[in-house]
Amino acid sequence: MTFLKRILWVRTGGTIDMIYDEASDSYVPAPKDMIKTIVDRIVPADIYLEIRSDVIEFIDSSEMIPQIWVDLAKFVGENIESYDGILITHGTDTMHYTSAALSFMLRNLNKPVVLTGSMIPILEEGSDGVRNFLDSLTFLTKVSIGGVFLVFDGKIISGVRARKISSSDFGAFVSVNSEYVGYIENGIVNLNSKKVGTSSKQSEGAVYAETNLDNSVALIKLFPGFKPKILEDLAEAGIKGIVLESFGSGGARVTEPLSLIDAIKKLRERGIPVFVTSQCYLKGVVRFGPKPYYVAKRLMEAGAVSLHDMLSEVAVVKLMWVLGRVSAYDEIINMMLTNFAGEIKSET
């Protein structure tokens, strides 16, 4: 028969792919034949779906490491031209980190790559996995826009704007500081016209993967009483860049005792940039100007760099990718402030 679309499905593990094993009293990866049986039953006959279970070792996504992102990116870059899109099933705990990593590593992406998972295994009754799986296929076969997306609970989210907000609800992911790319309901895709074409900023040319990553980075969440020496200790430990989750719109302790100012200045002198994001979970934007609060102004004067509306999770992944490409202080800052995949808006 003539197939409508050719989709490649990459299984990486996670709840959607699990089955309860009484012998070990834990959830383990489901056998491929069991997964294939249910998939053959629900996938439309005019979609050719190739299943790959050998790209990476099945893991709980809490065990994600950057090398796995490298392996995934290389595989997608080498194989996507043979398909209309790629589906990656993934555990929910770090799915948004992976979607961000692929968003930066996959360059010139002119086809959709979708990540999805579930809160209940697809083989169990009442699983949200069936809907998420079918919604992902619907998006992949009916929409021809390039980029990395997370599809979950009927929502289509840019790969650099997703955040997990629940460890149990079906609506576990939301789009932060950006509108949803669209929604899927009963097999119908409704795209946000303002988002289509802007969700992924790519240049022309063949798809390829930029996979050099340097995970000599740190993500630090401030709290009242935070000791600035921790930042200096990170430098001694070989950290090359820091993402600092500030209070509100860019606030931190700038008055002695426990002021961050001297520590940030010392890091700058050593060529180690400090980037500032917001702890505000859903609408956090760092504002270093115009008319900033005095605490934000002091941080800026010390050398801290605002990432405006970039998510902390995305910032730390992007910093790994940037450090894999450049090492000079000014070049690192310039790339971190460059919008590659819709991850940052201008402060003005």
Q: pTM of the predicted model, to two decimals?
A: 0.95
Query: Would you call 270 helix, strand, or coil by DSSP?
Result: coil
**Domain at 217-336, CATH class:** alpha beta
What are the residue boundaries of the structural domains of the chain, listed by start? Answer: 5-209, 217-336
Check: CB of residue 231 under 8 Å from CB of residue 242: yes
What band does 84 get if pLDDT is binned at 50, 70 and 90? very high
266: which 2 tokens?
Answer: 């010392």
Per-residue pLDDT, 200: 45
Do 5-209 and 217-336 fold alike per CATH? yes
Per-residue pLDDT, 193: 80
Report the alpha-carbon distance of residue 74 to residue 89 in Å, rounded.
Answer: 17
Among 255, 277, 266, which Cα is nearest to 303's? 266
Instruction: List CB contacts of 260: < 8 A, sequence separation 6 or more.
Output: 226, 228, 231, 252, 253, 254, 299, 302
**Domain at 5-209, CATH class:** alpha beta
Per-residue pLDDT, 198: 46
Question: Residue 148 burial (CB < 10 Å; 0-12/13-18/19+)?
Answer: buried
Report the alpha-carbon distance of residue 138 to residue 140 in Å, rounded.
Answer: 6
Average pLDDT, the chain: 94
Lowest mean pLDDT among 23-32, 85-94, 129-138, 192-201: 192-201
Q: Is the pLDDT of residue 341 over 90?
A: yes
Report the alpha-carbon distance of residue 61 to residue 12 in Å, rounded.
Answer: 9
Residues 170-223 pLDDT 10s: 999 999 999 999 999 999 999 998 767 544 445 578 999 999 999 999 999 999
Per-residue pLDDT, 4: 82
Q: Is the pLDDT of residue 332 over 60?
A: yes
182: which 2 tokens?
Answer: 């669209």
Report the alpha-carbon distance of residue 57 to residue 289 in Å, rounded.
Answer: 46
Mean pLDDT over 215-232 rounds to 98
Helix segments in the chain, DSSP class H:
32-42, 66-79, 95-105, 129-142, 229-236, 261-269, 294-302, 312-323, 329-336
Per-residue pLDDT, 71: 98
Question: Cis peptide leading into 273, omega within 30 of 0?
Answer: no
DSSP state of 13: B
**Active site positions, annotated:** 15
Residues 105-158 pLDDT 10s: 999 999 999 999 999 999 999 999 999 999 999 999 999 899 999 999 999 999
Mean pLDDT over 271-280 rounds to 98
